[in-house]
Amino acid sequence: MIIRVAVRELVRGWRLWAGSIIVIVASSAVCAAAMSQFETAATLGDDGVALQSMSQVILAFGLLSAIAVTAATTNLAVASGRRGYALLQLAGVLPRQLVLIVFSQLVILSLVGSILGLGVGRLAASPLLEFTIAQTGLGAAPPLAFGSTTLVWTLSLISGVVLLSGARSAFRAGRVRPIEALREPEPPKIRMGVLRWVGVGVALAAAAGMGLGLAFARPRFEADGHLVGLDSISGFSMMLSVALTALAATLGPVLYPLVLRAWTALIPAAASGTWFLARRSCSYRITQSTAAVTPLMVGIALPGTMYTIALTTASAVGGPADINTGSIFASLGPALFLAAIGAAATIFMTGRTRERDNALVQVSGGTVATTTLAAIFEAVIYVMTAFLLAAAIFATVGVVASIAFSPIAPGIAPTLGVATAALIALVGLAIVSTATLLPALSPSRRSIPSILATE
């Protein structure tokens, strides 16, 4: 009975779960393509060390992005489906059965998404391997190995990510009070639970440890004038960036609204009624805002940190910036791809809510131009909030790195990779704007009364 109800609810709420399945497929594809490089490197012996190192970076950043976007889309799907869970409880489903139903949905999604993702990953593995080999200087690409190791690790990692990221939402679904959920389909506020606070503590401890490690890395010149210790600077910097990104994502329900309201308040409501509408919409639908901001923040913070470290290092040693754009793109490309997919998926999942909001605006005297401009402003708010959070992350890393460089370059100031981060943010803005504009511009097949009557 549990499985049957879970499948039926997945079909009924397909739009809510479609974003999650897309993200799982993309995450599985990235994981499979990276794991296949490990298999390929193992066949090369000592010649595969460089390929293995590059694959570790791709997989690490890919998994970080996968965890962020999967958690965001899964939590959004469960939070937006509270009304359906309330109806199930009114129909006689017990809370513990509801938890099992949600877990069953997560298992189904993880298995289906992982299997589809393996197929996509097999197609993407060869081009990714060739591009990675070109950055390592190994010459011709070796034959691709895509065997049982890739299959088992991909299924295990992605299934684990989906179940762990959705566990909190599953238990929360079992605690939904039917009358409350029917009265308010999505609460405007999210509370920080015990597990999230534990995550904050772990991320904070990791950030403190990586920050101290970076600050005391202390590169130095040897007698022959060779500078040593730069590898420690790069390693600690990226790990600090990852820890700070995880900390910001974990604090999202508290941190994102503060940042969003703070910078959007700089533009007075009297300046534009449409801006006020977009700002209030983002502030009220904080669950959806959190889900949209997290992938964008991850996608902007990682390349921003890489370029910040490269530019700060060049400033410290007094030489040109040693930036291998191809290598950076090979390392972060899959993670950025997942971030873009995650941001677009969250917007798609909330299409029905946006359709209802647009109907309310039109009933209140607004026009299609009003809803279109509000959609653009909403995309700007999401991307700008993510950019500010990401800028705080790579700026912090840059400041700590400049402390580490102080013995060889006293008084050095960090050089931030703002240009690269801004370019990534513009790409994200184009993707998010497209996703927010589609519901505003697409003619609805339903009348306004029927749209408003569904809730």
Contact 282, 378 (CB under 8 A): yes
pTM, full prediction: 0.81
Measuring CA to CA, how many Å separate 374 from each of 203, 279, 428?
A: 35, 9, 17
Residues 370 and 389 in one domain: yes
17-74: pLDDT as tens digits = 888 888 899 989 988 888 888 888 877 776 667 777 777 778 888 888 888 888 878 8
The answer, yes or no, to whether residue 187 has pLDDT greater than 50, is: no
Domain boundary among 187, 210, 244: 187
Q: How many other C-beta atoms can be found within 10 angstroms of the C-beta atom of residue 209? A: 14
The yes-or-no verdict on residue 315 having pLDDT over 80 is yes
Residues 98 and 235 grouped into a single domain:
no
Q: Is 334 in the same domain as 217? A: yes
pLDDT mean across residues, the chain: 80
pLDDT for position 6: 78
Bridge partner list, 220: 228
Domain co-membership, 217 together with 81: no
pLDDT-based confidence at 94, cuts 50/70/90? confident
Q: Please tell me the predicted confidence (pLDDT) of residue 188.
A: 43
| Phi, psi of 227, rounded to the nearest 5 degrees | -90, 125
The tens digit of pLDDT for each residue in 161-174 reads 888 878 877 787 77
CA distance 153 to 161: 12
Taking CA 345 as the corner, what is the angle to CA 7 and CA 380, rounded to the nearest 5 degrees?
Answer: 150
Please tell me the total count of domains within the chain: 2
Residues 226 and 178 in one domain: no
Q: Which domain holds residue 313?
A: 191-455
Looking at the structure, do residues 132 and 262 belong to the same domain, yes or no? no
Please state the rounded mean pLDDT for residues 430-453.
68
Angle at 409 between CA 406 and CA 415, to 5 degrees: 85
Beta-carbon count within 10 A of 87 CB: 14
Domain boundary among 164, 187, 210: 187
Q: Which residues on adjacent β-strands are paired with residue 258?
A: none
State whether 179 and 234 are in the same domain.
no
244-294 pLDDT tens trace: 998 998 888 888 888 998 898 888 877 777 888 888 877 777 667 777 788
- 182 and 211 together in one domain: no
Judging by DSSP bridges, how do beta strands 220-221 and 227-228 pair with one another? antiparallel
Which of the residue ranges 20-34, 176-190, 217-231, 303-317 would you say has the lowest mean pLDDT?
176-190
Query: Is it the case that residue 107 has pLDDT exceeding 80?
Result: yes
**Mean pLDDT confidence for 80-105:** 80
Structural domain ending residue among the three candidates 170, 187, 204: 187
Does residue 86 share a domain with residue 198? no
Contact indicator for 345, 21 with CB cutoff of 8 Å: no
